[in-house]
Amino acid sequence: MQLTNKDKNNILWVDDEIESLKSNIMFLKQKGYNVLEASNGEDGVNLIRKNDFDLVFLDEMMTGMGGLQTLIEIKDLKPSLPVVMVTKNETESLMEDAIGKKISDYLIKPVNPTQLLLVCKKMLESKKLKGDQVSKDYIQEFNKLSMAMSDNPGWEEWIDIYLKLTGWEMELDLHPELGLKQTIFDQKRDSNTEFSKYVEKNYLGWVNSTGHKPILSNEVVDKFVIPELDKNDSVFLFVIDCMRLDQWLVMEKYLYDYFNIKKSYHFSILPTATPYSRNAIFSGLFPSEIEQHYPELWKKNDDDENSKNNYEREFLLKLLERRRIKLRNEVKYTKIMDSNFGRGIESKIMSYCQNHLNAIVINFVDMIAHSRSDNAILKEIAPDESAYRSLTRSWFEHSSFFGMLRQLSTKKNVKIIITSDHGSIRCLHGVKAMGDKDTSTNLRYKCGRNVKADPRNAILIKNPQEYKLPRRNGIVNYIIAKEDFYFVYPTDYHKYLNQYNDTFQHGGISIDEMILPVITLDSKL
């Protein structure tokens, strides 16, 4: 016996009393399912060898080859084939045996048509039904989000818009068959256009503390870390370089069993780049204030970006000193730059709990972004945001960071705060930038003498002091890219336009770079 209509959902029912089930089988056929029958396990297994079934109903108590043995043989042949066990026996041990052998569901005899139909829809049509509902819900949400973006949203509303857009991106990752990937991508790009206008209009007020404003990079320690020092034996501040909200959300799912999780948000200062935003986090100051008060730490004559974060521990100590915070012992500061060092920290992380305050910087997410730009294999593995999230998930699941968090979850009176200095954006549009040979090299912002770019694609900052930015080394102005633009010099324009197209960058103005989660973890112990 073989299947005659492969366009339908195909079901095999194996039962040694198959004649007594004719009414149920007829009911399924009337509902559009193609059903074949077998009166014993051996025949059922042979049919599975010769046909492509979508679902099997399997009697648990059969003469000859029993249900559990038949189940084993079916799974050897077709490991992913869903099997529903049909049984008169409700004993817990039997169910544990069946579930251990990977049944998809079970039904208790006598089976009624409604039960059958529900199981079939769940096993065979749930993805389509859910996809249809997701599509309908997103179209409704698309209109709401578009209206919200056009209704002059404030920074709180922008956080809400970003949360919803990110949630839909991740939901639609699960349903590529819906064909809505381009739709959410276009809506995200529209949101960045409006968000850039909003930031350009309001940022000066934020950094000069006029009006209602979001928490900025330089306020993170004051708002989220210092208040926890009196309440907990040990506080851990993890700063994940270049972590976007969507990347955190794929990590967060692994932590539900270990922690109670709370989320707040802060906005990165501009430029959204490590030398500016991360120094601001640890110092509690804007870059121009760091340059003014601690010029020896800012290293004003050094244009190497990597060297500008050599003094984060010192900045943090000076911040605590200004706030007159007395710790039980010295601050423990750690920067993790490679996996071997990270494993070493993981192996001794519990000893860190004796420290009142631990600050740990993890650079691996930033390294993923930069490596993808330079490595054709990584770009092939993560060609878009969805795959980028998947790559982050794979890293976190096996990371020393996850290992540290699991261990810390076993300790009471330990507070964990996780945030990022900035996010990143996939840059797809180049724009010409002008500047002299001493202009900085970042693709999303540049500073130097007479730096220029099209104002439609970049903010021009003529007076850095107004934006709380340093005016070092003769710098006259900054340009900061909006949306998903990146700067390319006219010399060899097309070469570099192609080289940096479709790379994840940071330093500019976008919701992915600026709106950052601040996560608080409390052990469930």
454-495 pLDDT, tens digit per residue, is 999 999 999 999 999 987 666 679 999 999 999 999 888 899
Query: Strands 259-267, 515-523: parallel, antiparallel or unpaired by DSSP?
Result: antiparallel
User: Which pLDDT value is given to residue 3?
Assistant: 60
User: Which amino acid is located at 229 in the chain?
Assistant: L
What are the sequence ranges of the domains in the chain? 10-111, 129-207, 217-424+513-523, 429-501
Residues in the chain: 525
237-241-245-249 Cα dihedral, nearest 10 degrees: -70
Q: 10-111 maps to which CATH number?
A: 3.40.50.2300
The encoded tokens of residue 425 equal 């954006």
User: Which pLDDT value is given to residue 436?
Assistant: 83
Beta strands in 241-356 (DSSP E): 259-267, 332-336
User: Which pLDDT value is given to residue 299?
Assistant: 61
φ, ψ at 311 (rounded to 5°): -125, 30
Q: Which residues of the chain have pLDDT under 70?
A: 1-7, 90-101, 299-308, 472-475
User: Which pLDDT value is given to residue 300?
Assistant: 45
C-alpha distances (whole Å) from 395 to each of 95, 272, 386, 402, 412 are: 36, 24, 15, 9, 27
C-alpha distances (whole Å) from 506 to each of 79, 203, 214, 306 are: 44, 18, 20, 14
H or E segment to which residue 434 belongs:
strand 429-434
- The CATH homologous superfamily to which domain 217-424+513-523 belongs is Alkaline Phosphatase, subunit A (3.40.720.10)
Radius of gyration of the chain (CA): 29
Strand partners for 300: none
CA distance 425 to 441: 17
Q: Which residues contact 253 (CB under 8 A, 6 or more apart)?
A: none
User: Which pLDDT value is given to residue 99?
Assistant: 62
Angle at 286 between CA 273 and CA 508, to 5 degrees: 30
Burial of 218 (0-12, 13-18, 19+ CB in 10 A): buried
The encoded tokens of residue 235 equal 């506080």
**Common-topology check for domains 10-111 and 217-424+513-523:** no
> Which strands sit side by side in the sheet containing 445-448, from one edge to the other?
445-448, 477-481, 458-461
CB atoms within 10 A of CB 453: 22
Q: Which residue has the tokens 């004719």?
A: 22
Evaluate whether 355 touches 332 at the Cβ level (below 8 Å): yes
User: Which pLDDT value is given to residue 131?
Assistant: 80
